[in-house]
Amino acid sequence: MLQSINPYTGIVIENYKTDTAKVIQEKIDSSHAAASSWSQLSIKQRAAYLSKLAEYLDAHKEAMGQMATEEMGKPISQSIAELEKCAYTLHYYAENGEAFLKEEKIKTDASESFVTFEPLGTVLAVMPWNFPYWQVFRAMGPILISGNTMLLKHASNVTGCGRAIQKAMDECGFPKGVFQLLQIKSDAVANVIADPRVHAVTFTGSTDAGRKVAATAAGHLKKQVLELGGSDAYIILKDADLKAAASVCAASRLNNTGQSCIAAKRMIVEEPVAAQFERLLLEAFEERPFGDPADKTTKVGTMARTDLRDELHKQVEQSIAAGAQVVCGGYIPAGEAAFYPPTILTKVTKGMPAYEEELFGPVASIIIAKDEEEAIAIANDTEFGLGGAIFTTDLKKGKRLASKSVAAGSVFVNTMVSSNAKLPFGGIKQSGYGRELSAYGIKEFVNIKTVYIK
């Protein structure tokens, strides 16, 4: 049984039956059968389906957004914006897929030699709850436009969102089997990966779960793309516009109630401006109180589940016991809702959970560095490498540090890290490997074939 619980009310939304072994096999069969005919369509024909789906998401963003808000507590305005971003990304691949997959002529001693891009077959997507639509559609765009079919194993607590996606695909007239939602628990994933009709896996989630998926896929010699945890460093140099930096850091840390792999998590501040930045960050946090996720004015909703909230609070308490100080927040509010208040911890040092671990919720860690060199060293002193940001009024310096010094898949200067259909997205170290989005993402799940004619 898959259970969906509203984290604001604590009320069970619905219980969903898990797929039987027979149904799982039927769905894999359907995806495998569809791969042949779907791949034979022209890219323009596949693009037409994606465009229609994008229009559907725009037309149904209020209702679909409400489902996300009910299932995982995302503020409704952010749920709607998430669907708008999904629609944009589908349009992007519909418009650019043909160019991305165009044969590449290579001059050799052959009479003709070129590289062509063929679909692999069926791709399994194992997706998390924090962005229940975006995570799926950003994978779906490149997977489907390149001629693959897709199986989705969604997080159990957002099964309603998964079913809404299946409904969208069906109502847009996608051929049977091109997209299939698997209503299964995590312990059934390994058998799906092992199935010879499944050719590759894309996974977004925790580093520990990613290791298990990678090990299973590697055991069957199947391609994987992994987008895992992050503990993004936002470096505030002494020449930064501190008010602007604090505003961006607050927006990034509290977006999606802090439940984002690329949220600002560690604010590394040069010592001469640390006290001023702390004051400005507190002011920015105070402008974002938590509240009813269904209210369009709410900027910080509930966390997705009470157990996740409790684990976050445990990390905060352990950090305080080790010497961190609370600037604001740091407590569990009364009531049934899975709220955790926007929290700032200062005097964070090495060895604390707030320094070493990913805090997946609305908690900011302030770490003081004596100078620029130490700030960069602290930023890189982590097992993660997903994103990071640098704040400075010296753009040449910002460009140099972002390009050469910070070890991460994405580094932004004077703004928050975000994913964009036009740019590759992914991490290094324990944040995973492979890339999603852009022309790079579409090449992850194709056979890059050399053709040589003498």
Q: Are strands 363-369 and 264-270 parallel, antiparallel or unpaired?
A: parallel
**How many CA atoms lie within 13 Å of 354's alpha carbon, on the beta-carbon side?**
30
Q: Write out pLDDT tens, residues 18-38.
A: 999 999 999 999 999 999 999
Q: Which of 261, 357, 358, 444 is catalytic?
A: 261
Tokens of residue 77, six digits = 């305005």
pLDDT by position in tens, the chain (length 454) = 999 999 999 999 999 999 999 999 999 999 999 999 999 999 999 999 999 999 999 999 999 999 999 999 999 999 999 999 999 999 999 999 999 999 999 999 999 999 999 999 999 999 999 999 999 999 999 999 999 999 999 999 999 999 999 999 999 999 999 999 999 999 999 999 999 999 999 999 999 999 999 999 999 999 999 999 999 999 999 999 999 999 999 999 999 999 999 999 999 999 999 999 999 999 999 999 999 999 999 999 999 999 999 999 999 999 999 999 999 999 999 999 999 999 999 999 999 999 999 999 999 999 999 999 999 999 999 999 999 999 999 999 999 999 999 999 999 999 999 999 999 999 999 999 999 999 999 999 999 999 999 9
Please give the mean pLDDT across all residues of the chain. 98
In a 3-state reduction of DSSP, which class is residue 445? coil
In 41-147, the DSSP E strands lie at 104-105, 112-119, 122-126
pLDDT at 321: 98
Could you give all domains of the chain from N- to C-terminal order, each with its CATH number? Answer: 2-228+429-453 (3.40.605.10), 232-413 (3.40.309.10)
Helices 76-100 and 61-72 cross at an angle (nearest 10°) of 120
Q: Which of 70, 71, 82, 227 is catalytic?
A: 227
Q: Write out pLDDT tens, residues 149-161.
A: 999 999 999 999 9
pLDDT at 125: 98
- Is 82 annotated in the active site? no
pTM, rounded to two decimals: 0.97
The dihedrals phi and psi of 163, each to the nearest 5 degrees, come to -70, -35
> 3-state SS of 335-389?
CCCCCCCCEEEECCCCCCHHHHCCCCCCEEEEEEECCHHHHHHHHHCCCCCCEEE
- Is 227 annotated in the active site? yes
> Sign of the CA dihedral 103, 108, 113, 115?
negative
Q: Which amino acid type is present at position 333?
A: P
